[in-house]
Structure 1
Amino acid sequence: MTAVMRAAVIGAGVVGLSTVAALRAAGAEVTCFERGPAVMGERSAGSTRIFRLAHEDPALVRLARWARAIFGEWESAAGRRMIGPEGCVVSGTAVAGMAAGLRAAGARSELVEPAGAARLRLPAREPPAVSLIDPEGGITDVDAVRAHLGERAADVLVHEPVRSVEPHGAGAVVRSASGSHRFDAVVVAAGAGTPALVGSLGLDVPSTLAHHVRFTLPDPGAPPDRPCWIDDPAGGLHTYQHRSGPRQWTVGASMDPALVAWEVGREAAEAASRRAVLAHVRERLTVEPRIVGSLYCTTTAPPQGDGFVVQRTGSVLAVHGANLFKLAPVVGRALAAAAVDGSTPSAASLAASAG
């Protein structure tokens, strides 16, 4: 009789929960450690997020398409839509690279000149010089994803901090507030907590943090199918924007690193971000320049581009990256498979297997 594999996942963000779901589907006995009081409460927080195929790297386009298919499986299981049909618009300096990435991966896209910009339904005072439509993008219903994955992991969650992870023989030991626990494999997907857990194991995970905040503003004239929008104007503020509720519009910005560095402090970083976003809204957007909500999180500094990195030492895997929510279903399955077979996945190897 084959012994059941015992695996630990540290971190109940969207990547950690996706890994838990995939490990359990593979027949593993799983324990998921989460230091916070709720799942998906830190970097995976919020009720909405952008999903897109558009990336400069064709491998990431292929992985996003694969992730969309898995989201579809989750939608069928949950009986609830998780990715909306709104599409995603890219404008500014990112257009050429993302158009090339979509084209190389065989994904659909369309370039729109200013004369046709009205049909984009963007809250822009002036139409972008050129826009790229990613028709397979849309708004992610984070609450739906949280409810589905949280239910699948509810009986294996342990809400307590992990103090250390140590390779031990053919497996590893997780030391938490309740004691020491032996596992055959450990996946560390703990976001900002990952560097402290794996740094002593020789894994080089970026450990410098920065503050990030996105703001919600009234958008009383918004059509219900207004697309997500990634805008990277030459010489202007790079923003990501999307509908976050009825007649609401959310704006997040890539700030000057000096203004949001960890040592600046959360209060000062939030104030600088608020000033920059409000100035941008007043100059470029038609939404009301009045903040009615905000969502704070930590990011890695300097800012990482899209994608992820998986590292291994013995039976311990660690993952880090940026903008991972849209790829989480694929990353979770890859981490689960790697925990079982001893491999170390990469975006390139996964994209090649996706075809």
Structure 2
Amino acid sequence: MSRVAVVGAGIVGLAAAHALRARGADVTLCEPGPPGGGQSAGRSRIFRHAHDDPRLVALVARSRSLWREWEHEFGVELVSRDGAVAIGDGVEDKLRTLEPFDGIPVRRLDPGELHDRLPLLAGYEGPAMLDVDGGAIRTVAAVGALVSRLEGTMLREHVISVGRRTSGGVEVRTGTTARTFDHVVLCAGRGTAALARGAGIDVPVALGAHVRLTFATRATPARGGTAAAGLPTFQDGSGTFGETGAYGAPDPDGRHFSVGLSADTDAAPDGALADPSELAALADRTVDYVRRALPGLEPAPVDHVHCWVTRLPWGDDGVGIWSADGITALAGHNLFKQAPVLGEALAGTALTGTVPQDLRPGQRLGRAAG
């Protein structure tokens, strides 16, 4: 039986540990804080199929199938059935990218149906589309279900170093322990690059910080007094409301909607923000955007989520797996929706030593268009 340590209990680390256990591995999951409390924090995330790179579309489509399998296994809804709406001139590019994929139902929305599906939105007459099998990921439910399946695997320790032993195996040193494993998988978010670098693996991550705000919805009679009930997720690339990139997703309670901008602050490799005041400025911009674009929301935020962004050089949706001599590291951005398929890929890499072709860094999976 292979002994594998997974460092980091965000959604991808949990998925990797779950997949490893299903394959018969002896798993130790290292996490000093609450599972899902780092870059996986928040009550909802967007599941969407549209990406610039068709290979990533295929990977995400596989992940959507695995989310359904998890729902059957765990007995709980993990992705809402209300779809994902996108607006803006990029809609036509998204539709063209998705057209070859027969199993991904998408269609254009006219202004009337857009309003019916997303009554929070101010008047808008431009291009719009619906990703039918998109929706809001129930993040808390997903993390909770995985944690319940991984009982007995958790080591509540901060990992200080990972290194190969001359006598064989890979040593993981934590605050109070030193243990040796056959393989170590690094899914530690901001901490992945530093741990990998100490083991001789260069993961070229650019670090930033992001803020996402939660707003209460205004009650509407048409939706039984709960404006967020049955709402799709939302991406706005139109610029109509003063921002060229914004997104939102309904919370599972049906009374709140989380909104963010496609922007973050720069940070040094050690996590020092170039200008800490920029986070507050991003929050203010988000509030201003909500006032203009989403009059169905109360404009005073009721919650903030601050998280690190770990972006690869080839694009906002870039993802890759580095692996050498018993150590595997995952890095990328916008990974929550891909967690089931990335967990499978990491488990396979740990047990066979082979990274799936498209996830090798040289393939630049998720590269931006152009």
Q: Which residue of 2 aligns with 1:212?
A: 210
| Secondary structure of the corresponding residue to residue 226 of structure 1 | coil
Q: Which residue of 2 aligns with 1:157?
A: 154
Compute the displacement of 1:264 (Å). 4.2
Deviation string 1:208-245 (CA, Å, 9 cap, x unpaired) is 42221111112126251111001112472411111123
Q: Which residue of 1 aligns with 2:71?
A: 75
Q: Which residue of 1 aligns with 2:304?
A: 294
| Secondary structure of the corresponding residue to residue 154 of structure 1 | coil
**What's the TM-score, normalizing by structure 2?**
0.86
- The one-letter amino acid paired with 2:261 is A
Q: Is the 8 A contact 1:55 1:97 kept in 2?
A: no
Q: Given the superposition, is the C-alpha separation of residues 104 and 192 from structure 1 closer, same or farther in structure 2, using an over 3 Å criterion?
A: same
CA distance in structure 1 between the partners assigned to 2:37 and 2:359 by the alignment:
29
Q: Which moved more, 1:283-292 or 1:116-125?
A: 116-125
Q: Given the superposition, is the C-alpha separation of residues 313 and 272 from structure 1 closer, same or farther in structure 2, using an over 3 Å criterion?
A: same
Q: Which residue of 1 aligns with 2:221?
A: none
Q: Given the superposition, is the C-alpha separation of residues 197 and 302 from structure 1 closer, same or farther in structure 2, using an over 3 Å criterion?
A: closer
Deviation string 1:70-99 (CA, Å, 9 cap, x unpaired) is 222221222111111010011124323322
- Aligned 1:233-248 pairs, distance under 5 A: 233-234=238-239, 236-244=243-251, 245-248=253-256
- The one-letter amino acid paired with 1:251 is V
Q: 1:232 aligns with which of 209, 222, 237?
A: 237
Determine if the alignment matches structure 1 residue 12 to structure 2 residue 9. yes
CA distance in structure 2 between the partners assigned to 1:201 and 1:258 by the alignment:
26
CA distance in structure 1 between the partners assigned to 2:179 and 2:13 by the alignment:
18
Q: Is the 8 A contact 1:195 1:207 kept in 2?
A: yes
Determine if the alignment matches structure 1 residue 312 to structure 2 residue 323. yes
Q: 2:43 aligns with which of 39, 44, 47?
A: 47
| Secondary structure of the corresponding residue to residue 148 of structure 2 | helix
Q: Is the 8 A contact 2:265 2:278 kept in 1?
A: no
Q: 1:285 aligns with which of 294, 315, 320?
A: 294
Compute the displacement of 1:308 (Å). 1.4
Q: Which moved more, 1:285-294 or 1:161-170?
A: 161-170
Q: Given the superposition, is the C-alpha separation of residues 335 and 237 from structure 1 closer, same or farther in structure 2, using an over 3 Å criterion?
A: same
Q: Is the 8 A contact 1:58 1:104 kept in 2?
A: no
- The one-letter amino acid paired with 1:238 is G
CA distance in structure 2 between the partners assigned to 1:302 and 1:187 by the alignment:
18
Gaps of 5+ in 1: none
- Aligned 1:109-258 pairs, distance under 5 A: 109-114=106-111, 116-169=113-166, 170-220=168-218, 222-234=227-239, 236-244=243-251, 245-255=253-263, 257=265
| Secondary structure of the corresponding residue to residue 77 of structure 1 | helix
- The one-letter amino acid paired with 2:260 is G
Q: Is the 8 A contact 1:308 1:347 kept in 2?
A: no
Q: Which moved more, 1:146-155 or 1:184-193?
A: 146-155
Determine if the alignment matches structure 1 residue 339 to structure 2 residue 350. yes
Q: 1:325 aligns with which of 315, 333, 336?
A: 336
- The one-letter amino acid paired with 1:236 is E
Compute the displacement of 1:118 (Å). 2.5
CA distance in structure 2 between the partners assigned to 1:212 and 1:103 by the alignment:
32
Q: What is the number of equivalent residue pairs in this alignment?
A: 347
Q: Given the superposition, is the C-alpha separation of residues 345 and 312 from structure 1 closer, same or farther in structure 2, using an over 3 Å criterion?
A: same
CA distance in structure 2 between the partners assigned to 1:256 and 1:5 by the alignment:
40
CA distance in structure 2 between the partners assigned to 1:75 and 1:305 by the alignment:
28
Q: Is the 8 A contact 2:207 2:266 kept in 1?
A: no
Q: Is the 8 A contact 2:45 2:139 kept in 1?
A: yes
Compute the displacement of 1:180 (Å). 2.0
- The one-letter amino acid paired with 2:216 is P
Compute the displacement of 1:288 (Å). 2.1
CA distance in structure 1 between the partners assigned to 2:69 and 2:259 by the alignment:
30
Q: Which moved more, 1:115-124 or 1:161-170?
A: 115-124
Q: Which moved more, 1:140-149 or 1:235-244?
A: 235-244
- The one-letter amino acid paired with 1:282 is R
More helix per residue: 1
Q: Which moved more, 1:131-140 or 1:70-79?
A: 70-79
| Secondary structure of the corresponding residue to residue 181 of structure 1 | strand
Q: Given the superposition, is the C-alpha separation of residues 347 and 229 from structure 1 closer, same or farther in structure 2, using an over 3 Å criterion?
A: farther
- Aligned-residue sequence identity (percent) comes to 34
CA distance in structure 2 between the partners assigned to 1:266 and 1:218 by the alignment:
29
CA distance in structure 1 between the partners assigned to 2:94 and 2:321 by the alignment:
24
Q: Given the superposition, is the C-alpha separation of residues 256 and 151 from structure 1 closer, same or farther in structure 2, using an over 3 Å criterion?
A: closer
Compute the displacement of 1:184 (Å). 0.9
Q: Is the 8 A contact 1:310 1:346 kept in 2?
A: no
CA distance in structure 2 between the partners assigned to 1:233 and 1:85 by the alignment:
25
